[in-house]
């Protein structure tokens, strides 16, 4: 498993602990409850969302416990009572956690993650679950739109310098789920086995007395298959220097990178120049604040690959998936579990434990089916009767974590799942323009 070197239990908001403290004091902390992660809408008018971060949640829940260090801090900060500290010292989530399989698409109202257990143990998970899912799903959704717009041309994550160092690693992982082929972030490569890739910086060219000196040095160190950055000074001259430097080393240049100017017109010009110089096998990689719209515009240009940075790690203008974690059922004073939901204007919810499946017409999906029911088993049976493909998996069973959904193996499964799930979308759902969700969500009650 991929583990943090310390407890993850304080990656949370103070009010979660104080709520549990109060519930312990009035005797309601042990009431059975159901909490659900869902999104009321798809921000940015996007047609679908991508579930990402499930594997990271699995990994981080391994370390969600309160050690002597965490207890000492909470005591010194006077956050909660001694009774609460006693409870936390032996905390272990012993409930169930159901979730959409990572890489799966989601829509408004989808029960993306469901926690069942006591109020106390479920309440404490809120911030960790949401912080991971909201960030990773936002990045994965943007990345999915980018890889769709790229039409098979490889996209590589170059965003590490545009994000918090921890977020950069998580973003590289989320982008890989959604079809990116690699990352420049070495820590993401080390942790998750994501292929690493890189070119060179303008500083390397500026370091040398001439551009030819810089290119020759890079080729000597890395071979003619390297990628040379050709627009530090004059792009046309840079292309010629790059090709000549490779020829002087006895080979053909692998690729060039263009990072400025009109990328569409520039790609045609550079391709013509490379071909005229005999470098017909040299590939062209472009960078420079690319997003899904820029990639779509480059569709007809002779470009072989993309390096995407700022717009990727910031969700391409949508930095959060806007998911929420709400109680949808709880045990009452009589010991009966009953549905509950907010009724606030614009934030009304749907109570009850839910299961989800996807209905299809031929090879394309047509509706998201969400069933409110009394149990997981009853819900799965109802989905089968309606011919819906189940979307959720059991991530934690009575406190036992299913490790197959974490680590590197879980990441590769998520990547394959995303490809298959996106392929099922109807044509309208692939549009980059803002609009309605690609498929409607149908909600039913199963008695």
Which CATH number does the domain housing residue 225 bear? 3.20.20.70
- Segment 71-114, tens digit of pLDDT: 999 999 999 999 999 999 999 999 999 999 999 999 999 999 99
* Per-residue confidence (pLDDT) for residue 371, from 0 to 100: 96
Q: At what angle do helices 126-150 and 165-177 cross, to 10 degrees?
A: 50
Task: Please count the residues of the chain.
Answer: 447
**Domain count for the chain:** 2
CATH number for position 91? 3.20.140.10
Q: Of 289, 311, 333, which closes a domain?
A: 311
**Do 385 and 292 belong to one domain?**
no
From 390, 385, 386, select the one nearest 358 (Cα to Cα).
Answer: 390
**Do 336 and 422 belong to one domain?**
yes
* Per-residue confidence (pLDDT) for residue 3, from 0 to 100: 45
Residue 266 lies inside a defined structural domain of this protein: yes
**Do 305 and 371 belong to one domain?**
no
**Do 230 and 303 belong to one domain?**
yes
Dihedral class, residue 42 (left if φ above 0, else alpha if ψ from -120 to 50, else beta): beta
Residue 47 lies inside a defined structural domain of this protein: yes
Q: Are 322 and 40 in contact (CB under 8 A)?
A: yes
**Do 290 and 371 belong to one domain?**
no
**Do 353 and 267 belong to one domain?**
no
**What's the sign of the alpha-carbon dihedral 108, 110, 111, 112?**
negative
Q: What residue numbers bound the domain in which 364 lies?
A: 14-124+322-445
Question: Residue 371 pairs with which residues in a beta bridge?
Answer: 355, 444
Q: Of 311, 338, 358, which closes a domain?
A: 311
* Per-residue confidence (pLDDT) for residue 208, from 0 to 100: 98
Residue 130 lies inside a defined structural domain of this protein: no
Question: Residue 115 pairs with which residues in a beta bridge?
Answer: 35, 97
Residue 244 lies inside a defined structural domain of this protein: yes
* Per-residue confidence (pLDDT) for residue 4, from 0 to 100: 45
**Do 329 and 387 belong to one domain?**
yes
From 163, 206, 204, select the one nearest 183 (Cα to Cα).
Answer: 163
Averaged pLDDT in 10-residue chunks for the chain of 447 residues:
68 97 97 97 97 96 95 97 98 97 97 98 98 98 98 97 96 98 97 95 97 98 97 97 98 95 96 98 96 97 97 97 97 94 81 96 95 93 96 97 92 97 96 97 91
- Segment 397-417, tens digit of pLDDT: 999 999 999 999 999 999 999
Residue 269 lies inside a defined structural domain of this protein: yes
* Per-residue confidence (pLDDT) for residue 307, from 0 to 100: 97
Residue 143 lies inside a defined structural domain of this protein: no
Q: At what angle do helices 82-89 and 14-26 cross, to 10 degrees?
A: 100
**Do 222 and 247 belong to one domain?**
yes
Residue 150 lies inside a defined structural domain of this protein: no
Question: Residue 329 pairs with which residues in a beta bridge?
Answer: 34, 339
**Do 334 and 440 belong to one domain?**
yes
**Do 200 and 106 belong to one domain?**
no
Residue 198 lies inside a defined structural domain of this protein: yes
Q: Tell whether pTM > 0.85.
A: yes
Q: Of 277, 311, 345, which closes a domain?
A: 311
**Do 288 and 331 belong to one domain?**
no
Q: At what angle do helices 126-150 and 407-423 cross, to 10 degrees?
A: 50
**Do 440 and 378 belong to one domain?**
yes
* Per-residue confidence (pLDDT) for residue 2, from 0 to 100: 46
């Amino acid at each position: 498993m991929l583990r943090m070197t310390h407890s993850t239990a304080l990656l949370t908001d103070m009010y979660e602990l104080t709520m549990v403290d109060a519930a312990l004091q009035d005797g309601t902390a042990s009431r059975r409850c159901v909490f659900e992660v869902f999104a009321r809408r798809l921000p940015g008018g996007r047609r679908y969302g991508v579930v990402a971060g499930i594997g990271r949640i699995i990994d981080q829940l391994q370390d969600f416990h309160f050690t002597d260090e965490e207890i000492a801090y909470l005591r010194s900060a006077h956050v909660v009572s001694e009774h609460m500290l006693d409870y936390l010292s032996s905390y272990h989530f012993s409930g169930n956690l159901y979730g959409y399989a990572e890489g799966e698409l989601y829509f408004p109202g989808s029960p993306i993650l469901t926690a069942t257990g006591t109020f106390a143990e479920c309440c404490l998970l809120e911030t960790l679950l949401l912080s991971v899912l909201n960030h990773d799903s936002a990045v994965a959704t943007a990345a999915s739109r980018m890889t769709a717009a790229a039409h098979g041309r490889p996209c590589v994550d170059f965003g590490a310098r545009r994000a918090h160092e921890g977020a950069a690693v998580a973003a590289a992982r989320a982008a890989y789920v959604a079809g990116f082929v690699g990352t420049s972030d070495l820590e993401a490569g080390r942790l998750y086995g994501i292929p690493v890739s890189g070119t060179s910086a303008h500083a390397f060219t500026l370091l040398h007395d001439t551009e030819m000196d810089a290119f020759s040095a890079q080729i000597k160190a890395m071979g003619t298959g390297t990628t040379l950055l050709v627009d530090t000074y004059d792009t046309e001259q840079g292309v010629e220097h790059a090709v000549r430097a490779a020829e002087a080393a006895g080979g053909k240049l692998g690729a060039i990178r263009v990072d400025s100017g009109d990328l569409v017109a520039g790609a045609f010009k550079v391709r013509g120049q490379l071909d005229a110089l005999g470098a017909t096998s040299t590939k062209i990689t472009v960078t420079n604040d690319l997003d899904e719209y820029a990639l779509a515009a480059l569709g007809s240009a002779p470009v072989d690959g993309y390096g995407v940075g700022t717009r990727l790690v910031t969700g391409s203008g949508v930095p959060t998936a806007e998911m929420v974690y709400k109680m949808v059922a709880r045990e009452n004073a009589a010991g009966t579990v009953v549905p509950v939901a907010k009724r606030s204007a614009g934030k009304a919810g749907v109570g009850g434990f839910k299961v989800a499946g996807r209905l299809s017409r031929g090879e394309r999906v047509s509706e998201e089916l969400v069933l409110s029911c009394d149990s997981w088993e009853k819900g799965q049976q109802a989905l089968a009767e309606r011919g819906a493909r189940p979307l959720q998996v059991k991530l934690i069973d009575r406190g036992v974590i299913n490790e197959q959904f974490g680590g590197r193996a879980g990441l590769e499964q998520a990547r394959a799942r995303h490809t298959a799930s996106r392929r099922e979308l109807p044509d309208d759902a692939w549009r980059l323009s803002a609009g309605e969700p690609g498929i409607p969500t149908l909600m039913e009650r199963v008695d």
